[in-house]
């Protein structure tokens, strides 16, 4: 199809740099590549540590069962689907979290602020 997927980069600048190298190598092989190919960020994955242990059973109920998947026998984390920003947050009993599905770098920061606010409002932080 001519599409390229770049994974594992630590920043958006790294994505552009890596793809620039690939584009140059393809051109060296006489494979036509546009001068400015469109680069679209599809999924930014971030992590954070809330600094407090979390009661995932209480969170599963408090956050609303319609937005939560929690099956500790299958996976040790609670999966929370947030509407705004549209990301998925994995919460672990240790207080560590992973935010995935962001399209912009500030989606993760907004998601962390929002989830901390929700957990704190439930009285389950700390």
Using pLDDT thresholds of 50, 70 and 90, give the confidence band for residue 31.
very high
Digit-coded pLDDT (tens) for 70-123: 999 999 999 999 999 999 999 999 999 999 999 998 999 999 999 999 999 999
Prediction pTM value: 0.86
Q: Pick left, alpha or beta for residue 41 (phi over 0 → left; psi -120 to 50 → alpha; otherwise beta).
A: beta
Dihedral sign for Cα atoms in the order 96, 6, 17, 36: negative
Q: Is 100 helix (H, G, I), strand (E, B) or coil?
A: strand
Using pLDDT thresholds of 50, 70 and 90, give the confidence band for residue 2.
confident
- Domain ranges, ordered by start, for the chain: 1-40, 44-122
44-122: which CATH architecture?
Answer: 2-Layer Sandwich (3.30)
Q: Pick left, alpha or beta for residue 2 (phi over 0 → left; psi -120 to 50 → alpha; otherwise beta).
A: left
Q: Pick left, alpha or beta for residue 66 (phi over 0 → left; psi -120 to 50 → alpha; otherwise beta).
A: alpha
Token pair, residue 40, equals 């679209």
């Amino acid at each position: 199809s001519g599409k390229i997927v770049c994974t594992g980069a630590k920043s958006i600048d790294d994505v552009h740099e890596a793809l620039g190298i690939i584009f140059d190598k393809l051109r060296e092989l006489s494979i036509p590549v546009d001068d400015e190919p469109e680069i679209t960020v599809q999924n930014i994955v971030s992590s954070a540590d809330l600094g407090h242990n979390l009661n995932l059973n209480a969170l599963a109920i408090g956050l609303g069962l319609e937005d939560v998947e929690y099956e500790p026998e299958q996976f040790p984390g609670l999966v929370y689907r947030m509407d705004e920003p549209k990301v998925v947050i994995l919460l672990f009993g240790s207080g560590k979290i992973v935010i995935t599905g962001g399209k912009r770098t500030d989606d993760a920061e907004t998601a962390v602020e929002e989830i901390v606010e929700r957990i704190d409002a439930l009285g389950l932080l700390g």
